[in-house]
Amino acid sequence: MIGLEFALPIGLLTGILVFVPYLGAIVGLALATFAAVMQFQEWSGVMTVWAVFGVGQLLEGMLITSWLVGERIGLHPVVVIFALLAFGQLFGFIGILLALPISAVMLVWLRHLHKQYLDTRQS
């Protein structure tokens, strides 16, 4: 995109390490910064690499991950984002860890209650 010579290996390594929270982003940004400093030798090139990396991380964190995780556990991506934000705000880091499992359980429970309600109306 901007001509960084080692973009593909850095991107692949970042993609593999992203399964460990924060590790992929930190290692990827450090490697991309080092490669940009060595290649461009000016701050405008480094800033461009940071901007592209930041946009990529935002897209991955806010859209792609929430879409994939939500599809896997049956939650809409907006519900995933809302659950993470709400539980994180209310309960901090532990809330972020527990947001999706609790939301999935709540969804199953609400579907069960809705089915029970519909069954009682038909009787």
What is the reported pLDDT for 77? 81
- Structural tokens at position 97: 């860890």
- What distance in Å separates the CA atoms of residue 18 and residue 105, rounded to the nearest whole number? 26
DSSP 74: T
H, E, C per residue of 4-67: CCCHHHHHHHHHHHCCCCCHHHHHHHHHHHHHHHHHHCCHHHHHHHHHHHHHHHHHHHHHHHHH
Please give the chain's pLDDT, 123 residues, in tens.
Answer: 688 889 999 989 988 887 777 888 899 999 999 999 999 989 999 999 999 999 988 888 777 777 777 677 788 888 888 998 999 999 998 998 888 889 988 988 999 999 999 999 887
